[in-house]
Amino acid sequence: MPYDVGSLMLLNQFLVLGAALFSIGVYGLLVRRNAVLVLLSVELMLNAVNINLIAFESALVTNAAVGQVFSIFVITVAAAEVGFGLAIILMIFRNRRSANVDELDLMRW
Amino acid sequence: MVSSYVLAAEEGVAGLVEGGFWADTAGIMLITPFIAFLAIIALGKRMKYEGGEFAVASMAVNLVWATALFIQNMTEGGSSEVTFPIGGIGSGLQFELGWMVDGLSIMMYFLVSFVGLLVFIYAVGYMHGDIRVTWFFAAFSLFAGSMLLLVGAPNLVQLIIGWEGVGLASYLLIGHYWEDQENVNAGNKAFLVNKVADVGLVLGAIIVAMAVGDFGFVELSEASFAQDPTLSAVAVVGGLLLFLGAMGKSAQFPFHIWLPDAMAGPTPVSALMHAATMVTAGIYLMARTFPLYQNLASEIRPWMIAVGAITLFVIGLLALVADDLKQVLAYSTVSQLGYMMTAVAAGGYTAGLFHLFTHAFFKGLLFLGAGSVIHAVHSNNMSDMGGLRKYMPRTYTTFVIASLSLAGIIPLAGFWSKDEILATLDHEGYMVVFWIAVAGAFVTALYMTRAVALTFHGTYRGEGHPHESPLSMTGPLIALAVPSALVGFLNVPGVEIPGIGNFTEWLAVRVIPMGDNHPEGIAWNLAIIGLIAAGAGIVLGWALFARDAETQVARDRLEVPRLYPLFRRKYYMDDLALGIVDATRGPLARMIDWTNTYVIDGVVNATGGMGLALGRFVYGGLDQRGVDGVFNGLSVLIDGLGSGMRRLQTGRVQQYATAFVSGALVLVIVLMVLR
Amino acid sequence: MTVDAWIAEPVNWVFSIVAVVILFTAVRVVTSPNVVHAALYLVAALAGSAVMFLLLSAEFVALVLVLVYIGAVLVLFLFGIMITRAPTGFDEGLSNDRKLVSAAISLVLLGVLSWASLSAFGTDTVNTVGSPTATEILGDAILGRFVIPFEVVSFILLSALIGGITVARRDLTPLEEEERKAV
């Protein structure tokens, strides 16, 4: 049964949701002390971007599903980022016995 | 140069034909090693030879098929291809698995099966009582199977699958004795160096396949002959990337660094890796995609020749100083691969492949002989050997035959194939490369004489009492010595074997006949040049290394005092990064020193002088206290400002992020308001 | 389009409910005083996002999100939490003391982004046709038009893999080296 989903869904409702998720992610990025949690916040931001990409895809309807393709790329890169990021965190934890980002201030004056 | 396309039209045998029973069932060869792999893993531990039986059996089956195909195809000719569609992307690119049956792949099937069978039999004796024998044979079967998958591939996708399988199996085998960190590092090095090059292979395959619209080699050849405009637009980039892949697998300069370290694996692995599998894959790829280079991407061929020439000579020199017997042979392989690459790139498609064919026999034999020696003296180093000809007569005889064949002495196999390469280079007019190749032949003869002299002549320098290896090890040596000596007669230029014809002409017949750039008949003048170079190498080597044993090792180091450290450190390729750092450090330091001495000191002195003058003026002209007040005030101000600003640099990432986000926000808001 | 018409559409109810869930869980991700809970809230937020993708008829991406993120990445995160021995109980020290400033910045960011999209796209609707995007189209696009980026991404993944192993692997201490040799 062809069910006409979304002819009454606004593009903006998704964009604003994405903006809200992104802002929440930024908040987490700025306040979280634990490095793993910072990475979690980054994941939230990336996910907000994905929502935007997919929403634009269905609003503009490109014939090659460009938005979806790119959101898959984003997911892939995010997975790579998590793997490598956690490796770095692990290394830092081994050397400093702590994974708190605000204790990593060796680069200051 | 004769255009291959014209040749194809003249001979008029383009296209696929019915293969007959052996060709239609050739896929069995691609499967048996994997069946053996599973069988070894499942049942190997319970068997008498810990799984070696399955590996040997699979190779024996393969040898039956390969020999039948070899004989049938050489007498009847014809190319065929069997493929099964696996899937595809939309209506465009199709993935297929299957097998090719033509001169090129039959030659490779035969090499892998023949050398593989002998090496496997040898390995049963060599690995007896070793650790993890079952696992060793499993990985070894995987190694041979992946190579068969690679050389049987009718398209780039299957080739890449086999290619990566070979890489994986070699990683497992090189690191077989992983208890030593060195061996693990060698495996990692081989894997990573190959991975860098594999990026080229994968990207090149995609680019070429997108242009042709198909992954198949037949389609690629057809498009190349037809000068397809889509393909010619990307031919140079695609060809270069594929060549990059071939450079990695075939250990061409500067990717050669992994191969000598790959000696860390057990000796049978080295024998198979150097003779038939792994390193020949790159040459095979170049031969498979030869029409692309011949017809479209001819701009890259000079570069390929240059890489080959550098490899064949420069790396060959390294074999002169290596003490590890297997390393001598490893450098020798790299050098011979340079010959093959040079020949293929110069257009001598069949000359390069014929050298690959003969090389497989004598290099396999050399490695197995080296393994036999190492098995007897429990050391890889030639400084622990010497005088072994008395203890190991069979190993000695076969080793010498292989060495002479490698050096290119008439009438052994190596002579005919090397002569073919020299003739091709001469015929194509690459005279500089020709003389480099002649010099390479001289070096080859020299280091092989050195290896033989240091290992088998003089007096024994090692410990214990060496003895001849068991029959399961010397048997394969003898079985390999026969083709090492005789296989060259398959292709005496200008001579047709009744009922079979000429080996290289057979090789040149593919789905589309390849055509070739090499002269008709034998070129005796070139052959004599080659022979003189090889003979000179042997005589010099004999004079240098075969005299009294006591001083052999010491003199080995003294003969080339200037070059010795250079060779010993492998041209500092491994130290290159360190070298760059060292080279830039000095000038950089001097530059900073100069800046410090002249610029900064000058500024300081000038400022000081001005300050002095000003001070005198002020002292003379103004009230001291007022000035003091101003200066003190200024300094307090600057001090406060500095401490204030310093707080900004907390080193805390999140504060930076806060500043970054708010700065970006302010910018956005400003832009929105202005708009 | 009137507000009544918007509300009358059942799909929008689904959207609203899921959006509320996503926002609530996302807020909990960044405020939860328990590290493990934060990671689990992220699961919920991502599952909500997957529902959003389904609403937008991007079923393939939705499944990829579930498989890759919820299936793999989150497990990796939990491993990361366990291995770094972050306090798994409640810990008020997980956030620093710049909450107010950060919250203000985030709110301004939200305002700017929302204002930008609201003023740019007004009452545009999304044109999802009933059937979901065929995975075939997506596959064609990835392995056709975007095959080079696709390969590049896969090499990024590979290099991240190798890099991750290289960074995270630990050289044995001399003592452990001895023990290993002894065995």
CATH number for the domain including C91? 1.20.120.1200
Percent of chain C's residues with pLDDT above 90 = 20
* Contact yes or no for B614/A69 (Cβ under 8 A): no
Size of interface A-B (CB pairs under 8 A): 30
Q: pLDDT, tens digit, for every residue of C1-43?
A: 577 777 877 788 888 999 999 999 999 999 888 888 888 999 9
3-state DSSP call for residue C59? helix
Task: Choose the weakest-confidence range: B248-252, B458-462, C68-72, C102-106.
Answer: B458-462
- Final residue of a domain: which of C112, C129, C146? C129
For residues A24-45, one letter each, b for 16 or more C-beta atoms within 10 angstroms of the residue's C-beta and e for the rest, the string is bbbbbbbbbbbbbbbbbbbbbb
A107 touching B (Cβ < 8 Å): yes
Kindly determine whether residue A104 and residue B653, on different chains, have CB atoms separated by under 8 Å.
yes
Which domains does chain A carry?
Answer: 11-100 (1.10.287.3510)
Name residues 124-183 of chain C within 8 A of A (Cβ). 124-131, 133, 137-138, 140-142, 144-146, 149-150, 153-154, 156-157, 160-161, 163-165, 167-168, 170
Given a cut of 50, whether residue B1 has pLDDT beyond it is no
Return the H-helix or E-strand segment holding B83: strand B80-88
Is there a single domain that holds both residue B612 and residue B503? no
DSSP per residue, B334-396: HHHHHHHHHHHHTT-HHHHHHHHHHHHHHHHHHHHHHHHHHHHHS-SBGGG---TTTT-HHHH
Specify if B7 maps to a domain. no
Residue B3 is predicted with a pLDDT of 29
**Same domain, yes or no, for B644 and B567?**
no
A90-94, B86-90, B338-342 — most confident range: B338-342
CA dihedral B360, B366, B369, B371 (to 10 degrees): -90
Q: Residues for chain C: how many in total?
A: 183
Q: Which of residues 92-131 of C touch B (CB under 8 A)?
A: 96, 98, 101-102, 105, 108-109, 112, 115-116
**Residue B551 counted as domain residue:** yes
Which of B221, B252, B237, B268 has the alpha carbon at shortest distance from B119? B268
Question: Does any domain span residue B407?
Answer: yes
Least confident of A56-60, A79-83, B491-495, B619-623: B619-623
Confidence class of residue B326 from pLDDT cuts 50, 70 and 90? Answer: confident
Reported as a pLDDT band with limits 50, 70 and 90, residue B581 is very low
Is the Cα dihedral B575, B577, B581, B587 positive or negative?
positive
Confidence category of residue B72, pLDDT binned at 50, 70, 90: confident
Give the per-residue pLDDT at A15.
92
Residues of C with Cβ-Cβ distance to A44 under 8 angstroms: 26, 29-30, 42, 45
Same domain, B660 and B528: no
**Is residue B222 one of the residues assigned to a domain?**
yes
Q: Residue B87: beta bridge partners?
A: B95
Q: Determine contact, residues C171/A90, Cβ cutoff 8 Å.
A: no
For residues C121 and C143, membership in a common domain is answered with: no
Angle (nearest 5°) at CA B500 between B496 and B502: 45
One domain, residues C99 and C47: yes
- Give the count of beta carbons closer than 10 Å to the beta carbon of residue B305: 23
Eight-class DSSP state of B102: S
Q: Which one has a higher pLDDT value, B252 or B505?
A: B252
On whether any CB of chain C is under 8 Å from the CB of A49, the answer is no
Taking a contact as any Cβ pair under 8 Å apart, which residues of chain A between 34 and 73 contact chain B? 38
The answer as to whether B316 is a domain residue is: yes
Q: Do B668 and C112 touch (CB under 8 A)?
A: yes
pLDDT at B545 over 60: yes
Average pLDDT, chain B: 80
Task: Tell me the C-alpha distance between B334 and A51, whole Å.
Answer: 53
C-alpha span between B456 and A14 (Å, rounded) = 80
Chain B / chain C CB contacts < 8 angstroms: 41
Residue B468 has what DSSP assignment?
P
- How far is the C-alpha of B316 from the C-alpha of B335, rounded, in Å? 5
Whether A91 has a pLDDT exceeding 90, the answer reads no
What pLDDT score was predicted for residue A6?
Answer: 44
The confidence score (pLDDT) of residue B74 equals: 78
Per-residue exposure over A61-88, b if at least 16 CB sit within 10 Å of its own CB, e if not? eeeebbbbbbbbbbbbebbbbbbbbbbe
The tokens describing C17, both together, are 């409910």
Rg of chain A on CA atoms, in Å:
18
- Residues B343, B473: one domain? yes
Q: Do residues C84 and A36 make contact, with C-beta atoms less than 8 angstroms apart?
A: yes
| Chain C residues with beta carbon closer than 8 angstroms to that of A47 | 45-46, 49
Taking CB atoms and an 8 Å limit, are B661 and C109 in contact across chains? yes
Same domain, C41 and C94: yes
Distances (CA, A) of B184 to B195, B196, B262, B439, B664: 16, 18, 10, 36, 49
Residue B184 banded pLDDT, cuts 50, 70, 90: confident
pLDDT of residue C86: 60
Give me the pLDDT at residue A27, please: 93
Which of B92, B206, B665 has the CB atom closest to C112's CB atom?
B665
Between the ranges B226-235, B617-626, C40-49, where is the mean pLDDT highest?
A: C40-49
Q: Where are the beta strands (DSSP E) in C15-154?
A: none
Inter-residue contact B343 to B424 (CB < 8 Å): yes
Question: Looking at CA atoms only, how far is residue B89 from chain A in angstroms?
Answer: 14
**C-alpha gyration radius of chain B:** 32
B59, B285, B43: which is closest to B151 by C-alpha?
Answer: B285
For the cut 90, the answer to whether the pLDDT of residue C69 exceeds it is no
**Residue B254: cis peptide before it, omega within 30 degrees of 0:** yes
Q: Do B202 and C151 touch (CB under 8 A)?
A: yes
Residues C102, C168 share a domain? no
How far A102 CA sits from the closest chain B CA (Å)?
Answer: 5
Residues A38-66, mean pLDDT to the nearest whole number: 87
> Within this chain, do residues B436 and B495 fall inside the same structural domain, yes or no?
yes
Decide if B583 is inside a domain: no
Bridge partners, B189 (sequence order): none
**HSE (CB half, 13 Å, CA atoms) of B561?**
1
Domain count, chain C: 2
Q: Which of B630, B631, B613 is nearest to B605 (CA)?
A: B613
pLDDT tens-digit series, residues B12-38: 344 556 667 787 888 888 889 999 998
Mapping DSSP onto H, E and C, the string for B294-343 reads HHHCHHHHHHHHHHHHHHHHHHHHHCCCCCEHHHHHHHHHHHHHHHHHHH
User: Do residues C55 and C145 share a domain?
Assistant: no
Q: How far is CA B177 from CA A19, B173, B371, B546, B643, in A?
A: 55, 8, 16, 34, 60
Nearest to B438 by CA among B366, B339, B358, B329: B339
Q: Identify the CA nearest to C39 among candidates A38, B69, B608.
A: A38
Report the residue from A30, A108, A109 with minimal CB separation from B657.
Answer: A30
As given in the structure block, the two tokens for residue C159 are: 């290099």
- B291 and B155 share one domain: yes
Question: What is the three-class DSSP state of B517?
Answer: coil
Question: Is the domain of B559 the same as that of B602?
Answer: no
Which one, of B262, B272, B258, lies nearest residue B172 by Cα? B262
Of A26, A38, A101, the CB nearest to B661: A26
Quick one: pLDDT at residue A7? 59
Residue of B nearest to A106 (CA): B651
Domain count, chain B: 2
Domain range enclosing C145: 134-183
Residue among C11, C54, C5 nearest A4 (CA): C11
Q: Which helix (H) or strand (E) holds B271?
A: helix B267-275
**Partner-chain contact B654 A31, CB within 8 Å:** yes
Mean pLDDT (whole number) for B248-264 = 83
Give the chain C residue nearest A25 (alpha carbons): C30
- In the three-class reduction of DSSP (H, G, I as helix; E, B as strand; rest coil), residue C126 is classed as coil
* Predicted confidence (pLDDT) at residue B492 exceeds the cutoff of 60: yes
Three-state secondary structure call for residue B515: coil
Paired residues of B97 in beta bridges = B84
| Over residues B147-161, mean pLDDT | 91
ipTM of the modeled complex = 0.85
Rounded Cα distance between B581 and B137, Å, is 44
Coil, strand or helix at B457: coil
Nearest CA in chain A to C12: A9
- Give the up-direction half-sphere exposure of residue A23: CA atoms within 13 A in the CB hemisphere: 22
Domain shared by C69 and C107, yes or no: yes
Report the percentage of chain B scoring pLDDT > 70.
82
Helix residue ranges per DSSP H, B175-257: 181-212, 217-225, 229-249
Instruction: Find out whether B79 and B218 touch, Cβ atoms under 8 Å.
Output: no
Does the bond joining B411 to the residue before it have cis omega, within 30 degrees of 0? yes
Q: Is B473 inside a domain boundary? A: yes
Residues C120 and C160 in one domain: no
Residues C125, C169, single domain; the answer is no
Chain B residues whose C-beta is within 8 A of a chain C C-beta are 89-90, 92-93, 192, 195, 199, 202-203, 206, 210, 654-655, 658, 661-662, 665, 668-669, 672
Task: For residues C162 and C183, state if they share a domain.
Answer: yes
What string of DSSP letters covers B542-600?
Answer: HHHHSS-STTHHHHHHHSSTTTHHHHHTGGGSTTHHHHHHHHHHHHHHHHHHHIIIIII
The region of weakest confidence among A98-102, B61-65, B198-202 is A98-102
Q: Do the chains contact at B90 and C139, CB–CB below 8 Å?
A: yes
Give A10-23 pLDDT, tens digit per residue. Answer: 888 899 999 999 99
Residue of C nearest to A16 (CA): C114
| One-letter amino acid for residue B523 of the chain | A
pLDDT for position C72: 85
Most confident of A52-61, B557-566, C58-67: C58-67
Range in A29-38, C79-88, C166-175 with the lowest mean pLDDT: C79-88
Tell me what pLDDT residue A24 has: 94
- Asked if residues B142 and B165 have their Cβ atoms less than 8 Å apart, the reply is yes
pLDDT in tens, B274-285: 888 888 999 999
Gap between the Cα atoms of B540 and B400, Å rounded? 17
Q: Residue B102: which domain range? A: 22-572
Report residue B265's pLDDT band, with 50, 70 and 90 as the boundaries.
Answer: confident
Q: Residues B220, B132: one domain?
A: yes
Q: Do C148 and B203 touch (CB under 8 A)?
A: yes
Query: How many C-alpha atoms does C148 have within 13 Å on its Cβ side?
Result: 8
Cα→Cα distances A56→A17, A68, B581, C114, Å: 13, 10, 49, 15
Statement to judge: residues C145 and C104 lie in one domain: no
Give yes or no for a contact between C42 and C76, defined as CB atoms under 8 angstroms apart.
no
CA distance B644 to chain A (A): 12
Interhelix angle B413-428/B349-377, nearest 10 degrees: 140
Is B588 within the bounds of a domain? no
Residues C23 and C99 in one domain: yes
Q: What tokens were used for A54?
A: 């997919």
**d(Cα B287, Cα B102) in Å, to the nearest integer?**
13
Q: In terms of C-beta density within 10 A (0-12 exposed, 13-18 middle, 19 or more buried), how is residue B594 classed? A: exposed
Point out the residue among C94, C164, C170 whose CB comes nearest to the CB of A37.
Answer: C94
Inter-chain residue contact B654 with A29, CB threshold 8 Å:
yes
